[in-house]
Chains A and B, each alone.
Chain A
Amino acid sequence: MKREKPQLIINGRRLDGRAPQDLRPIKIEVGVLKNADGSAIVEIGNTKVLAAVYGPREVVPKHQEQIDRAIIRCRYRMLSFSTPGERKSPAPSRREIELSKVIREALEPAILSYQFPRTAIDIYVEVINADGGTRTAGITAASLALADAGIPMLDLVAAVAVGKVNGVIVLDLNEVEDMYGEADMPVAAMPSLKRITMLQLNGVLTPDEFRQALALALDGINRIYQLQKDALRRKYVEASE
């Protein structure tokens, strides 16, 4: 079957009823696992991602140890039943290997790794249900899990994708928009510091569209940042009251 390109924006509304600059509904919970030092679950629309953090802890195997800093180890993977259609093979795909690196590099600039020499901080991102934006939800969740583990950071990292769908720049693409849209651009940032820690583009944008998309992404990231802080307060401030 040849892919038919569906109409994704009708009368200024997207298929799920959102306006171009709207996020999907977001639910965040911090501290969802007993054993992990830190954990969080982020739901954005139908995408659901769990992140867990262990560490700083002893480095095994020892040769990975770095004398002046903690190493960050990250694994992103999709559960076998997380995608629509066929079962995903549990063997790591090239995409998962790339995304593990991209997610690690999105978080590295925020973590004060030089405070914990000769240790490892392990970040596990498990995609439970995939409907677009799993790497960005993974980063949002992982930075909360790091905070929950008490690991000092310069700022939280929040992430969201922007893209171009039927010629319109839209925020927070879902799977259908990602698949049939013209461009998908995931962005991660430390919002208070205005530092961009991840940027990818899959698709074609004019330079003007790129600027517009980046501004929209940072606006979305700021909104997610507020929700991250609310989630942390719910666990730590309200619990202590």
Chain B
Amino acid sequence: MSVTPETPIIPKVKRDAILNVLSKGFHIDKRPLYSYRNIEIVKNVAPNADSSVLVKLGHTQVLAGIKLEIGQPFPDNPDEGVLIVNAEYVPAASPSFEPGPPDENAIELARVIDRSLREPRVVALDKLAIIPGKKVWVIWLDIYILDHDGNLVDASMIGAMLALAQLKLPRIDVDPNTGEIKIDKSQRETPLPLNRYVATVTVYKIEDILLIDPTAEEEAMATASITMAITEEGNIGGIQKRGLGYFEEKEFDRIVEISLSKGKELIELIKQYTK
């Protein structure tokens, strides 16, 4: 059952202060409404992973990691590799996160990231078959929220994209007689084949004000948000509205405009870090 979450109580003075600066076009931390906080990337934080990236978006911290396996393809796509995305809200990240299996928020996050990668065909899964129909690369992309200070989707997507872009496939040897596959993880040459880069831009609504990248405090005041996955080519590769509120029909031109321009910015940033 999906249950209305409890809205955090924000003292009225704080609320008024936030609304006051927002109405003047700024976040509570003095950035303009349509700018991201400082983004810091730390690569290879978990050397045992096949690829790992820590993303710091302001005080939000997200850790994305990949484990590669050789497995069976899905029966409906026998010649393609497999990508599986999972997300977990670690209880260390916020007093409101509880231990236990992923809840609806974590599942939704994982599915939004998954769709934003799958539909624009970010990973060239068709190039990941080892023995078509039998053995393919399986990419387990796991996202852990380590510290929650708002805008988890965009931070997670940056992490997911960078973890994929950095991934190098290990050398494999296929025994022609037995069909047995040996992986040599000490030798990595081929980068994971990617078709394009994608970033998500989440536009939040507080009263009538649209903004991006809120802090947790601001996010708690937002009535709704809309995440758009933007591709390198400037197309929309996925959308998800979340929250108890709504968007007006006439707000969409602005939302698309913000998402396209900020998405482009994020993709450029992601590309810089992959160099």
Contact = CB atoms under 8 A, between A and B. Distances in A.
B246 A64 contact: no
Given A194-B249, A196-B247, A211-B256, A204 B2 contact: no
Interface in B227-251: 231, 234-250
B246 A71 contact: no
Given A109-B245, A210-B256, A201 B235 contact: no
B50 interface: no
Interface in A59-88: 64, 66, 69, 71-75
B32 interface: no
A163 to B, nearest CB: 12
Given A194-B249, A200-B239, A204-B236, A105 B119 contact: no
B168 interface: no
Interface stretch (B53-61, B103-111, B213-221): B103-111
A197 B246 contact: yes
Interface in B84-115: 104, 107-108, 110-111, 115
Interface string B136-162: 000000000000000000000000000
Interface stretch (B33-41, B62-70, B73-81, B173-181): B73-81
B3 A71 contact: yes
A1 B75 contact: yes
Contacts of B266: none
Contacts of B244: 105, 108-109
A226 interface: no
Nearest to A202: B115
A202 to B, nearest CB: 6
Interface residues of A, number: 47
A207 B236 contact: yes
Given A190-B246, A207-B234, A101 B119 contact: no
A210 B119 CA distance: 15
Nearest to A179: B76
A203 interface: yes
Contacts of B6: 66
B236 A73 contact: no
Contacts of A204: 119-120, 231, 235-237
A2 B77 contact: yes
Contact of A100 (B2, B77, B256): B2
Given A94-B107, A98-B108, A113-B4, A214 B252 contact: yes
Contact of A185 (B4, B108, B111, B239): B239
A71 B4 contact: yes
A140 B161 CA distance: 36
Interface in B1-45: 1-4, 6
Contacts of B248: 194-196
Contacts of B75: 1
Contacts of B107: 94, 97-98
Interface of B: 1-4, 6, 75-79, 104, 107-108, 110-111, 115, 119-120, 224, 226, 231, 234-250, 252-253, 256, 260
The 8 closest A-B pairs by CB, nearest first: A201-B239, A100-B2, A195-B246, A101-B2, A71-B4, A109-B246, A199-B241, A108-B244
